[in-house]
Amino acid sequence: MEYALTATKNEARAGSFYDRIASLYDFSFKLNGYGRSLDKYLASHPLPVSRGAHILDAGCGTGLLTLALIRGLGFPVSITALDLSARSIRAAKRAVSESNGRKRDVSFAQGNVLALPFADDSFDLVVTSGALEYVPLEEGFTELARVVSPGGHVLHFPIRPSLISTFLEILFRFKTHPPNKLESETERHFRIVDHYRFPPLQAIGWTKSAILVQKLLS
pLDDT digits (tens, 9 = 90+) for 133-165: 999 999 999 999 999 999 999 999 999 999 988
In a domain, 8, yes or no: no
Structural domain includes residue 38: yes
Instruction: Give helix 14-31 / helix 86-97 axis angle, nearest 10°.
Output: 30
185-203 pLDDT, tens digit per residue, is: 999 999 999 999 999 889 8
Residue 14 has pLDDT above 70, yes or no: no
**SS3 at position 116:** coil
Q: At what angle do helices 34-44 and 14-31 cross, to 10 degrees?
A: 80
pLDDT of residue 2: 40
- Quick check: is 7 in a domain? no
On whether the pTM is more than 0.85, the answer is: yes
- Beta strand 209-215 pairing with 190-197: antiparallel
Total domain count, the chain: 1
* Residue 27, CA atoms < 13 Å, CB-side half-sphere: 4
Q: What 8-state DSSP symbol labels residue 162?
A: S
DSSP 132: G
Q: Residue 112 domain-assigned?
A: yes
* Residue 34 placed within a domain: yes
29 part of a folded domain:
yes
Q: How confident is the model at residue 3 (pLDDT cuts 50, 70, 90)?
A: very low
**Residue 184 belongs to a domain:** yes
For residue 105, give its domain range: 14-215
Q: Which among 79, 75, 72, 69 is positioned nearest to 50, based on CA atoms?
A: 75
- Residue 35's nearest CA partner among 204, 216, 161 is 204
- Judge whether 206 lies within some domain: yes
- CATH number, domain of 103, equals 3.40.50.150
Q: Are strands 123-129 and 54-58 parallel, antiparallel or unpaired?
A: parallel
